[in-house]
Structure 1
Amino acid sequence: MMHFHFDETKVLVYARRGLELLVFEEPDYPEVLTQVPGGSVEPGESPRSAAHREFAEETGFEITAPIEELGIQGYRYRVDDRVIHHERHCFAFEAPSDLPDEWTHLEGQPSQGEPVLFRLFWISIEEAKTRLGYGMAETLSAPFFSSRPSRLEP
């Protein structure tokens, strides 16, 4: 018998730099698919605040630009005989041009277990549509990603 479990509220943060998207992989876990920064909304925390916190925890950089809420996405996956449901609040912002092209960051206090090493890098939005895992590419159909930004950092 399958049980439905409505798990937790999550945030995803899509950092765009022109026509590129910031993504990460976990070098210690090569089976984990490419993702964008994000994580859980803590009790009493707003999704927008969680987006700021999670981005900083996973990248080592603060969001300094205005962030746009793109909408809410449901995501389901199976664990044994249960289906887990996450409600994902998706945010995006135009990242400053001075972020590195590639870097590693150790998230010291992940929500579960040992610190996690992230390798962060930029890929084209087009490549992200096929490379992102866990349903994260669905958000790339939002108008925020469909055209060149009107303002780029100098």
Structure 2
Amino acid sequence: MIRRFGESPEPGRTYTRRIGVYALLPRGKSLLLTCQTEPGPDLQLPGGGIDPGESPVSALHREVYEETGWMIAAPRRIGAFRRFAYMPEYDLWAEKICLIYRARPVRRIGPPTEAFHEALWMQADAAAMRLGNAGDRHFAHLHARGV
């Protein structure tokens, strides 16, 4: 069973399962994060959905690049969680299965290619308090503690 963070599913509401990959990207005591500025500012671990036919690791490389402009190396899966959320960009109620990886940010190629995303570095302990969802905060907190 995958641990759930956030709200319980609403009785009678239909949720679409969406599997995604997300990255803890440490450099020293800081993490590389993305801020999605629309529909409202939301601080997130970089990542997103796995496209049909795409492997989780390929999706992770693509999503991190799209949302931060950085290339990564040596991704290793460290955990998973699920959450139930409304995704306004898709007008969709989703059961999000979030696969969490730790990877090394190698090189910034340029700005994020995905609209309304900004890359930023933040101390891991601050990120553990400010990330927009409880699952992301949990994994940032584990990283800040050295777990």
Q: Say if 1:67 and 1:145 are closer, same or farther in 2 by CA, change over 3 A.
A: farther
- Maintained 8 Å contact 2:71/2:105: no
**Match of residue 74 from structure 2:** 66
Matched, 1:48 2:57: yes
1:30 is displaced (CA, Å) by 7.0
**Match of residue 121 from structure 1:** 120
TM-score in terms of structure 2 length: 0.75
Q: Say if 1:30 and 1:48 are closer, same or farther in 2 by CA, change over 3 A.
A: same
Unpaired stretches in structure 2, ≥5 consecutive residues: 1-10
**Match of residue 24 from structure 2:** 14
- Maintained 8 Å contact 2:86/2:94: yes
1:141 is displaced (CA, Å) by 4.1
1:146 is displaced (CA, Å) by 2.6
TM-score in terms of structure 1 length: 0.72
Structure whose CA Rg is larger:
1
Query: 1:75 is matched with which residue: 83, 86, 95?
Result: 83
| Correspondence 1:67-106 to 2 at 5 A | 67-78=75-86, 84-96=94-106, 99=108, 104-106=111-113
- Maintained 8 Å contact 2:33/2:120: yes
**Match of residue 151 from structure 1:** none
Q: Say if 1:45 and 1:106 are closer, same or farther in 2 by CA, change over 3 A.
A: closer
**Match of residue 7 from structure 2:** none
| Correspondence 1:18-29 to 2 at 5 A | 18-27=28-37, 29=38
Measured on the aligned residues, the alpha-carbon RMSD in Å equals 2.8
SS at 1:67's partner residue? strand
Unpaired stretches in structure 1, ≥5 consecutive residues: 108-115, 149-154
SS at 1:2's partner residue? coil
- C-alpha distance in structure 1 between counterparts of 2:130 and 2:45, whole Å: 11
Q: Say if 1:129 and 1:41 are closer, same or farther in 2 by CA, change over 3 A.
A: same
Count of matched residue positions in the alignment of Structure 1 and Structure 2: 133
- C-alpha distance in structure 2 between counterparts of 1:42 and 1:5, whole Å: 18
- Maintained 8 Å contact 2:32/2:121: yes
- Maintained 8 Å contact 2:22/2:101: yes
1:62 is displaced (CA, Å) by 1.8
